Amino acid sequence: MIKIRLIGFVLLAVFTLFLGCATTSTDTDIEPAAPGSPPPVVLTQTVTETLMPLTPFILQRIRSRYSDDSEFRADIGRYQFLLFGRILMEREFPRRRTELGSGGQLIFFDENIRETITINDQTGGQAIDIRFSGNEISLYVCFDQDDRLSLPFTTVVSDFETFFHLKYDQNGKMSTTGDEKGTVWYGENEFKLRYSGERSPYLLVRLSHSDLDVPIRHTAPGRMVN
């Protein structure tokens, strides 16, 4: 009998510990009820964190936080953007040096420099400027430490669900082989652009979305005419 009671006590203790450790991802809050009022209302909040493509709709939600456009543009650099896709930029240029060797010998150095810049998928970027031109929005995003090394990502204002794709010159110096898509200016230099897939890289934004059901209840007290 003592052994049975001991086993029952242990099981009860384990069950109590399990209940104490359980958690939920949904927050609830209960409004206190005044005397004579309806039963208390349970508020349920669900928070979702994800990466979303940046669209004019999301940009407009950001804009709604500010009183005017100048404040919005000055603060755009505080939001974290990320690149969806991989960008590869290449350029070749000559570099020549002339030196004087021993015995008055003239030495020529002719170098062919091939510069390659890679911006990998999910690389974080900071917006340094935003421009509006007719129906087009251009967001200039820097993925490097130098603000001059930014890339333009554009979309149209009239379609709230379009993405901010990388803007480049499709009529630039194209190669007959490989996956060159065109040319793009990066800082003061023009590069050949490569990326994988049919769609050009676009911007993502880190987003936390909170859904909260807020019931509003009111009981009319009535009005008596004197």
Mean pLDDT of 180-190: 94
**Three-class SS of the chain:** CHHHHHHHHHHHHHHHHHHHHCCCCEEEEECCCCCCCCCCCEEEEEEEEEEEECCHHHHHHHHCCCCCHHHHHHHHHHCEEEEECCEEEEEEEEEEEEEECHHHCEEEEEEEEEEEEEECCCCEEEEEEEEEECCEEEEEEECCCCCCCEEEEEEECCCCCCCCEECCECCCCCCCCCCEEEEEEECCEEEEEECCCCCCCEEEEEEEEEEECCCCCCCCCCCCCC
Predicted pLDDT at 11:
39
Sign of the CA dihedral running 67, 71, 72, 78: negative
Q: Which residue has the tokens 């490569």?
A: 194
Predicted pLDDT at 22:
37
Tokens of 158: 């009239």
Mean pLDDT of 100-128: 92
139 pLDDT band, cuts 50/70/90, is very high
Q: Which residue has the tokens 């650099």?
A: 77
Question: Worst-scoring range by mean pLDDT, 23-37, 54-68, 97-111, 123-137?
Answer: 23-37
2-15: per-residue pLDDT in tens?
A: 444 444 443 334 33
Mean pLDDT of 72-76: 93
Q: What is the gyration radius of the CA atoms in the chain, in angstroms?
A: 31
Q: Distance (Å, rounded) from C-alpha 14 to C-alpha 214? A: 37
Q: Which residue has the tokens 């009671």?
A: 5
Does the pLDDT at position 63 exceed 70? Answer: yes
Among the listed residues 178, 180, 183, 179, the one whose alpha carbon sits nearest the alpha carbon of residue 167? 183
Answer for the pair 123, 142: CB distance below 8 angstroms, yes or no: no
Predicted pLDDT at 193:
96
144-164: per-residue pLDDT in tens?
A: 999 999 999 999 998 989 999
* Count of beta carbons in the 10 Å neighbourhood of residue 216: 5
Which residue intervals of the chain are DSSP H helices? 2-21, 56-63, 69-75
Q: Distance (Å, rounded) from C-alpha 203 to C-alpha 127? A: 11
What average pLDDT does the chain have?
A: 81
